[in-house]
Amino acid sequence: MDENSSNHHHLHHHLHHHSQSIGPELKKIYLCAIVLNGLFVLFEMWMGYKADSVSLVSDAAHKLIDVLSLGLVLLTFYLS
């Protein structure tokens, strides 16, 4: 056995804790953010339609994507 192939084995122990869940207060915060942003999207969409403003309607569509993203995060919290 040569010097380079001598006992150079390492044992690695990794502990993974998958029980880290978020608290109910953080879930409430996300739910409130979704509801409030959703209401803002509806209001901005309505005002954009009433004012015939493409800018407001497109911003409402952009904010809708944000609301969907928050919803996806909340869903992952529940699934984890």
Residue-wise pLDDT tens digits, 18-54? 555 678 888 899 999 999 999 999 999 999 999 999 9
Residues whose CB falls within 8 Å of the CB of residue 57, separated by 6 or more in sequence, listed in order: 44, 45, 48, 49
Q: How far apart are CA 31 and CA 12, in angstroms?
A: 41
pLDDT digit string (tens) for 47-75? Answer: 999 999 999 999 999 999 999 999 999 99
CA distance 64 to 44: 10
**Cα 44 to Cα 34, 40, 69, distances in angstroms:** 15, 6, 18
Rounded Cα distance between 28 and 48, Å, is: 30
